């Protein structure tokens, strides 16, 4: 049996929704509790729903009651401080797994390309049920930042760059597309990330919010991309050399647990 997937997402692996008016909301992300959890750059996470209902970020398939990224348990202490963020995650009406705010420190483009990864969203997901995808609601107004999506991690011709002003709302099949965020400047970026289960609720929500699965990439120069490719290759080679020095096989990057 096949997984239930969204037809709108299937074509390109991403959907951009109408922009949300972030300015009307309190900055709840500044009040919640963060834990150090490295994922694709210098990051911390503030979980709102986790596998255990406590402030932790572990994979849902580990430890007791292993399962796929569904059935997230809301963390009371966090929900009390961020009711608006929780309401937004629930608004789609789709089943929720992880739900958390990510804090990302400034990240140059070459490093972003090195950080490109796929998420391990669907481990233990039973056949015939909804495919797990993720929403990204940008909270801070990161006018010069963009989300980088690639079909192939090292091939820039497969890249889409999606702008990240406050209120940008994306839904992405992060197990299919390589992804990471380019974030220049000096201040951290905050984004609400929720694991949603594909199905009629998600389809209806994306349609209601004007979801489109193709957007113009944020323009950059050829030199900008070439320099990024150079740094990605350099960092990949350094990683391979470090692994070889420890006698380990150089393998493809592993999917992210986060």
List residues near Fe ion by CB under 5 A. Answer: 119, 174, 256
Nearest approach, Cβ of 76 to Fe ion (angstroms)? 26
Beta-carbon contacts of residue 12 (< 8 Å; ≥ 6 apart):
160, 213, 214
Pick between residue 43 and residue 81 the one whose CB is nearest to Fe ion: 43
Residue whose CB is less far from Fe ion, 81 or 194: 194
Q: Cβ-count burial of 62 within 10 angstroms (0-12 exposed, 13-18 middle, 19+ buried)?
A: exposed
The four Cα atoms 184, 243, 152, 163 give a dihedral, to 10 degrees, of -10
Distance CA 149, CA 153 (A): 9
Q: Are 111 and 88 in contact (CB under 8 A)?
A: no
69/95 with CB nearer Fe ion:
69
Between residues 112 and 174, which has the closer beta carbon with respect to Fe ion? 174
Residue 89 class from Cβ within 10 Å (0-12 exposed, 13-18 middle, 19+ buried)? buried
Residues 11/50/116/130 CA torsion (nearest 10 deg): -20
Q: Toward Fe ion, which CB reaches closer, 160 or 174?
A: 174
| Nearest to Fe ion of 81, 195 (CB atom) | 195
Minimum gap (Å) between residue 142 Cβ and Fe ion: 17
> What does the DSSP 8-state code read for residue 118?
-
The pair of three-digit structure tokens given for residue 29, joined into one six-digit string: 């992300």
Helix (H, G, I), strand (E, B) or coil at 44: strand
State the minimum distance, in angstroms, from the CB of residue 97 to Fe ion. Answer: 13
CB of 179 to Fe ion, least distance (A): 6
Cβ 134 to Fe ion, closest distance in Å? 7
Kindly state the smallest distance separating residue 6's Cβ from Fe ion, in Å.
18
Using CB positions, name the residue nearest to Fe ion: 119
């Amino acid at each position: 049996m096949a997984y239930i997937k969204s037809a709108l997402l299937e074509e390109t692996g991403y959907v951009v929704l109408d922009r949300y008016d972030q300015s009307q909301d309190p900055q709840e992300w500044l009040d919640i509790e963060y834990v150090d959890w490295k994922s694709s750059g210098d990051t911390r996470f503030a979980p709102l729903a986790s596998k255990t209902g406590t402030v932790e970020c572990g994979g849902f398939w580990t430890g007791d009651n292993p399962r796929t990224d569904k059935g997230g348990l809301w963390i009371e202490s966090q929900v009390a401080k961020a009711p608006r963020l929780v309401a937004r995650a629930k608004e789609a009406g789709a089943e929720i797994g992880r739900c958390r705010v990510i804090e990302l420190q400034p990240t140059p483009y070459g490093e972003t390309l090195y950080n490109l990864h796929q998420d391990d969203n669907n481990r233990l997901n039973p056949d015939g049920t909804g495919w797990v995808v993720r929403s990204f609601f940008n909270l801070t107004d990161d006018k010069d930042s963009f989300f980088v999506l690639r079909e192939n991690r090292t091939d820039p011709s497969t890249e889409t760059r999606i702008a990240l002003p406050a209120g940008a709302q994306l839904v992405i099949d992060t197990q299919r597309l390589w992804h990471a965020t380019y974030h220049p400047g000096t201040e951290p970026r905050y984004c609400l990330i929720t694991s949603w289960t594909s199905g009629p609720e998600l389809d209806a929500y994306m349609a209601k919010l004007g979801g489109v699965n193709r957007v113009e990439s944020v323009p950059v120069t050829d030199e900008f991309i070439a320099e990024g490719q150079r740094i990605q290759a350099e960092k990949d080679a350094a990683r391979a050399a470090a692994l070889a020095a420890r006698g380990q096989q150089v393998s493809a990057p592993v999917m992210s647990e986060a």
